[in-house]
Amino acid sequence: MQRCAALARHSELPGGLTRVFLSPEGRAAGELVLGWMREAGMQAQLDAIGNAVGRYEGERPALPCLMLGSHLDTVRDAGRYDGMLGVVSAIECVHALNSRGKRLPFAIEVVGFGDEEGVRFGTTLLGSRAIAGTLDAKVLDTRDASGKSIAEAMREFGLNPERLSRVKRKRSDVLAYIELHIEQGPVLEAEGLPVGVVTAINGFSRLRVTLRGDAGHAGTVPMGLRRDALAAAAECVLAVEKTAREHPELVGTVGRIEARPGAINVIPGEVQFTVDIRAPQDSLREQAVAEVRRKIGEIAAPRKIEAAIESLQDLGSSACAPWLMQQLVRAVEAQGLRVHRLPSGAGHDGMAIKAIADIAMLFVRCKGGVSHNPAESISEGDAGTGFRTLLSFIENFNAIPA
């Protein structure tokens, strides 16, 4: 809990928590984590995309690893546990093993991923996709709101984009990936349980929509002669909401919108907004994306607004591996707890790591299901139960699928 508080002090905004990929705050958080990894007996450094990576050797050097981790970046005005709890819990597990001088028949690697939220560049899971080898070098041309590309931001941070491919791990190096994360929803609280075993992570699609009309004088242009991009965008936002409401398992969000030129007395000539659509079934999500695209076209046409829709990212839903879930279930039972299985509505780094290793996740109860909000909170007792469950899983981990 103290370490989550220490990490929360590295923020773009004083008095809140905002820490995006490849920022000075991101570097400070990474350095702090590397120090903790070393204290816990690991060799640790930033990799070529800016992930903080620590390695605890097994009984012999160079054994394949059990990979643990979560992310160190945050959303804007974030809580302090989303991501960070998984990183510090994993380090604490290694610390516990190291202080007993215990080595296992596999290595452990702990990764603090540099980008899971995708707040800065819109496209997400940059750190974990680099490790999985699925981050196309072309993605490094993606620009942030100030026009800086990922490659430029990497150079400024002191990283060499040409070395991206060195981050990639082979399937034979990674036995499995396990992530502890706060639930970010209300289910475990309702069940009266401190931890739960994740069954699958819902897929997501991210779009960026640009609407172009005509900027003009707010006092002189009659309503019938306007091409107001923001009025059109307002209809589009409602269309996203309506589409998502058509199915109980769909969710749709417009989380960011910007109107230009942005003055009280100017008709907005151009608007850009993001769309985030998620569902447990890929076909349901794909249908919803197609419907949103069609509706935006139908809204724009009669208003004589040009609409450009860019797909930022699509990721299918990711099932957790039954053999790993089974071992997590045993670790939960070893704490004397009833086992509850639940899906994840939020995205996680495992979605990317799945390309090279089987994945599983342990959720820790969070207060009121509140997350992506500074009020995000967990109890010390639950953090302890999460840690003990993860440690029990690691100590009994059998790399051979049952």
Contact footprint for ligand GLV (CB under 6 A): 117, 346-347
Residue 348 Cβ vs ligand GLV, minimum distance, rounded to whole Å: 7
Closer residue to Mn ion, CB minimum distance, 82 or 276:
82
Q: Is the dihedral of CA 145, 151, 152, 156 positive or negative?
A: positive
Three-state DSSP at 137 gives: helix
Closer residue to Mn ion, CB minimum distance, 83 or 350:
83
CB-closest chain residue to ligand GLV? 347
Q: Which does 122 bind (CB under 5 to 8 A by kind): ligand GLV, Mn ion, none?
A: none
Residue 124 Cβ vs ligand GLV, minimum distance, rounded to whole Å: 7
Residue 346 Cβ vs ligand GLV, minimum distance, rounded to whole Å: 4
Residue 91 Cβ vs ligand GLV, minimum distance, rounded to whole Å: 21
Residue 47 Cβ vs Mn ion, minimum distance, rounded to whole Å: 19
Q: Which of 82, 276, 349, 358 binds Mn ion (CB under 5 A)?
A: 82
Closer residue to ligand GLV, CB minimum distance, 117 or 270:
117
Stretch touching Mn ion by CB under 5 A, among 77-85, 152-160, 185-193, 392-400: 77-85
By DSSP bridging, strand 65-71 and strand 43-46 are unpaired
Pairwise CA distance, residues 357 & 67, whole Å: 9
Residue 336 burial by Cβ neighbours in a 10 Å radius (0-12, 13-18, 19+): exposed
Structure tokens, 123: 């496209």
Residue 45 Cβ vs ligand GLV, minimum distance, rounded to whole Å: 26
Kindly provide the b/e burial profile for residues 342-379, where b requires at least 16 CB atoms within 10 angstroms of the residue's own CB: bbbbbbbbbbbbbebbbbbbbbbbbbebbbbeeebebe
Residue 219 burial by Cβ neighbours in a 10 Å radius (0-12, 13-18, 19+): exposed
Closer residue to Mn ion, CB minimum distance, 53 or 236:
53
Q: Which does 30 bind (CB under 5 to 8 A by kind): ligand GLV, Mn ion, none?
A: none
Q: In the window 4-63, what residues touch Mn ion (CB under 5 A)?
A: none
| CB 178, CB 393: distance < 8 Å | yes
Q: What letter would DSSP give residue 321?
A: P
Instruction: Note whether 115 binds Mn ion by CB under 5 A.
Output: no
Residue 362 Cβ vs ligand GLV, minimum distance, rounded to whole Å: 16
Q: Which does 349 bind (CB under 5 to 8 A by kind): ligand GLV, Mn ion, none?
A: none
For the chain, how many residues are written?
402
Closer residue to ligand GLV, CB minimum distance, 292 or 346:
346
Q: What letter would DSSP give residue 141?
A: G
Closer residue to ligand GLV, CB minimum distance, 117 or 382:
117
Pairwise CA distance, residues 279 & 318, whole Å: 11
Instruction: Note whether 83 binds Mn ion by CB under 5 A.
Output: yes
Closer residue to ligand GLV, CB minimum distance, 268 or 350:
350
Which of 72, 82, 79, 81 has the alpha carbon at shortest distance from 51?
72
| CB 210, CB 305: distance < 8 Å | no
Pairwise CA distance, residues 394 & 330, whole Å: 11
Closer residue to Mn ion, CB minimum distance, 82 or 291:
82
Stretch touching Mn ion by CB under 5 A, among 12-20, 79-87, 205-213, 296-304: 79-87
Closer residue to ligand GLV, CB minimum distance, 117 or 376:
117
Which of 247, 237, 236 has the alpha carbon at shortest distance from 284?
247
Q: Which does 347 bind (CB under 5 to 8 A by kind): ligand GLV, Mn ion, none?
A: ligand GLV
Residue 117 Cβ vs ligand GLV, minimum distance, rounded to whole Å: 5
At residue 259's C-alpha, the angle toward residues 124 and 13, to 5°, is: 55
Residue 376 Cβ vs Mn ion, minimum distance, rounded to whole Å: 9
Instruction: Note whether 69 binds Mn ion by CB under 5 A.
Output: no
Three-state DSSP at 339 gives: coil
Positions in the binding site for Mn ion (CB under 5 A): 82-83
